[in-house]
Amino acid sequence: METLKENIITVEDIKEEIEKAKLEVPREDEDFDDRYDRLHAEWEVKGLKKYRKEINDAHTNKETFKDWVIDIWGDIETYIAVINEELKLREIEITREASECAALMKIFVSSESGPRDEAEEKVKRNLEEALEEHDQRILNIYDVEVVPLLKWCEELLVMKAFLTNDFYMKGSFTDELKLIYTNVFTLLDRNLPEKVDYSDAHSFEYYVDLEDECEYLYLDDLNPVEELLAILPGSPYECDVMYYAKSINCNIKNKHVNTFKEKCKELYNSLHQ
């Protein structure tokens, strides 16, 4: 197996990877599962990460690690520069992964049968519950999908601190990004511990007042559809009403994702100072 010493990764190598990554565009005909597997495999061999085990093994021996770095890159400063570029490359990977996962989350709201005024109240109540559940899923997706990608960044930051005789509390960067992630993708402002400038969360009334093609579409409007479907043999059909779902999902995908990308870049830029 090829070792890092046989194929030294330079700042220029990683900068080239960064430029290539910026040019990557989603494949229109690719479903999420295929895209997920492909991208994870591709990112695994970009930049310095392909030698992650070799680097971590060397770092376990603190007494010889600096000599190991000098033997490969010539001096400590050059390796620090390589680490900084690697962090920029990982910023692209993690920002895309995190924002794509968040954008996948959809708000679906259903109504039960009843008079129009009762149905409206039920839809609003269901919308509120759906928004609450969405905020809980934000945390789960971050822990499951994003945290594993951040472990390499954490390892790099620990190495960088060691080489510069500095101190880094492992996990603090992951926690900082989690705070940004949860604030940006929180939908109801009352779920925020405190108001923050970069949060796109709104009050419940904001979502109720949104205009959408599904507005005022209640179960009694769809009774004729239900009746037609009911005559099909063995039809299990139950009619659910989507209320404001399209508008809310568009907001998640656009404004929230763009805000997250901006704040994520700022956080990564702060690592190079």
Q: Read off the pLDDT of residues 71-91 as tens digits, 9 standing for 90 and up.
A: 999 999 999 999 999 999 999
Provide φ and ψ at 33, rounded to 5°: -60, -45
Q: How high is the pLDDT of residue 222?
A: 59
User: Nearest 5°: CA angle at 92, between 17 and 70?
Assistant: 55
Q: How high is the pLDDT of residue 238?
A: 52
Q: Which of 95-109, 130-144, 249-263 has the lowest mean pLDDT?
A: 95-109
Q: How high is the pLDDT of residue 96?
A: 87
Question: In sequence order, what are the residues at sequence separation of 6 or more whose Cβ sits closer than 8 angstroms to the Cβ of residue 235?
Answer: 229
Q: How high is the pLDDT of residue 5?
A: 80
The yes-or-no verdict on residue 220 having pLDDT over 70 is no
The pLDDT tens digits of the residues spanning 89-105 come to 999 999 988 888 887 78
For 97-150, the DSSP string reads HHHHHHHH--------SS-HHHHHHHHHHHHHHHHHHHHHHHHHHIIIIIHHHH
Q: Is 188 helix (H, G, I), strand (E, B) or coil?
A: strand
Provide φ and ψ at 206, rounded to 5°: -60, -45
* Alpha-carbon gap, residue 102 to 106, rounded angstroms: 9
* Alpha-carbon gap, residue 271 to 273, rounded angstroms: 6
Q: In the chain, pLDDT over 90 holds for what percent of residues?
A: 44
- For helices 116-141 and 76-104, what crossing angle results, to 10°? 160
CA end-to-end span of the chain = 35
* Alpha-carbon gap, residue 241 to 214, rounded angstroms: 8
Query: How would residue 10 be classed by pLDDT, with cut points 50, 70 and 90?
Result: very high
Q: How high is the pLDDT of residue 148?
A: 93
The yes-or-no verdict on residue 26 having pLDDT over 80 is no
Query: How would residue 34 be classed by pLDDT, with cut points 50, 70 and 90?
Result: confident
* Alpha-carbon gap, residue 233 to 220, rounded angstroms: 23
